[in-house]
Copies of this chain bind each other. A is one copy, B any other.
Amino acid sequence: MLDFDFWSPTYFSFGRGRESMTGELVKKFGGSRVLIHYGGASAVKSGLIDRVKKSLKDAGISFVELGGVQPNPRAELVYAGIDLAREHGVDFILAVGGGSVIDSAKAIAAGAPYNGDFWDMFCGVPMGENVLPVGVVLTIAAAGSEASNGCVITGTDCTKRVFSGPSDLNRPRFAILNPELTATLPPSQVANGGADIMAHIFERYFSKTKDVETTDRLCEGLLLALIETLPRAVKNPADYEASANIMWAGMLAHNNVVGVGRKQDWLSHRLEHELSAKYDVAHGAGLAVMFPAWMRYVMHYDTPRFARFARNVWGVVDTDDLTAANHGITKLVEFWSSLGLPKNFAELGAKREDIESMADGVAALGCEGMGSIMQFYKNDFIKIYELAADAK
């Protein structure tokens, strides 16, 4: 096991109707003038934004609002949010939505007090410790941004960039997790979210670090719980109990409690970010295509690990490691297909002729955070994209 630091100070308020606690929690964490940040019309139509506003008013907290966050959130709206926050002297950013909204809120929170371009955070420029606090009312279990210290924004040049750390300032101060709020999601979004959650576990689980039995078992446990509950929630997004289990798993999959002490490999997310930046496909759908391809490529470099995955997560009984490893990946693809997720470029709407330029895009980001079981170079990216394009 590797040495590590772990800090997940986010306060979680979990359960039915918990958005009524928003005002109280903003106050507890020092907010008095809030920017409410959200996405499309559904949060308004459903009455959620009104309930959040009422809770803020009841707590004596003033607010301004900025909707319109799109999936794969854009820098343009972050700039608008920073201007609005500065104009109104906002001291707390409240994200009401999923990963895109939370990530956009985190970027506004970092950018508003910063004397420069917020895009610096994605270019390795140190921005100091002056960051506005962020709170969350979560509306979909997927990205895990409600408890992570990272965010992903698509820049004005259309490149999708990941910020992670180096400090924990970007972790939300509180997150309200009410599984009732996911009851009206289309099943496809529940499935996409599920693929994203499982991918967050995979990026941690497939590690070359030995003797990490505790976090290995926790990763396998989360996966087993998701395999049990995702089909129920996709079939019926109003299944509260299934949704509740998925929502808690989604947080745990990404606050890093199951990923500490090991070298992680975030290549699959990088490969997918190129896809979603180019075709604006849902992140989870892109991951469902990329991850099995990544697995089929990498499994030859640590077959016992992929055999363990197959046996402990999918109940595969083959005694030969390579057979078991292949069998496990097939089980994963079958599972994701049963949830309606795509298997290959054609089902995703991606094009084989773009592989070279996407591989260039991944290579341009450098090596940090990439590679655990093996090191990767551009030629590897191309081969993995080809496996994804041609998958049956």
Contacts and interface: CB of A to CB of B under 8 A. Distances in A.
Interface of A: 1-16, 18, 210-218, 220-222, 224-225, 228-229, 241-242, 244-246, 248-249, 252, 257, 260-261
Nearest to A219: B221
A6 B12 contact: yes
Contact of A14 (B5, B210, B224): B5
Given A213-B225, A218-B221, A249-B214, A11 B7 contact: yes
Nearest to A211: B241
A245 B1 contact: yes
Contacts of A10: 7
A310 B10 CA distance: 35
A219 to B, nearest CB: 8
A215 B248 contact: yes
Contacts of A215: 248
Contacts of A218: 218, 221-222, 225, 252
Which of the listed residues A3, A16, A241 has the most CB atoms from chain B within 10 Å of its own CB? A3
A1 B245 CA distance: 8
Contact of A244 (B1, B5, B18, B252): B1
A225 B217 CA distance: 6
A222 B211 contact: no
Given A16-B3, A261-B14, A228 B241 contact: no
Which of the listed residues A2, A4, A222, A260 has the most CB atoms from chain B within 10 Å of its own CB? A4
A8 B5 contact: no
B213 A228 contact: yes
A14 B18 contact: no
A133 B345 CA distance: 54
25 contacts: A1-B244, A1-B248, A2-B15, A3-B16, A3-B18, A4-B12, A4-B14, A5-B11, A5-B12, A7-B10, A7-B11, A14-B261, A211-B244, A213-B228, A214-B245, A214-B246, A214-B248, A216-B225, A217-B222, A217-B224, A217-B225, A218-B225, A221-B221, A244-B261, A248-B261
Which of the listed residues A4, A214, A218, A228 has the most CB atoms from chain B within 10 Å of its own CB? A214
A6 B167 CA distance: 22
Contacts of A222: 214, 217-218
Contacts of A244: 1, 211, 261
Sort A-B residue pairs by CB-CB distance and give the 6 closest, nearest first: A3-B15, A221-B221, A217-B221, A211-B241, A9-B9, A214-B225
A14 B225 contact: no
Contact of A220 (B1, B214, B221, B257): B221
A264 to B, nearest CB: 16
A229 B245 contact: no
Contacts of A5: 11-14
B14 A245 contact: no
Contacts of A15: 2-4
Contacts of A16: 3
Given A211-B244, A214-B245, 7 more contacts: A6-B14, A8-B8, A8-B9, A14-B260, A211-B242, A214-B249, A248-B261
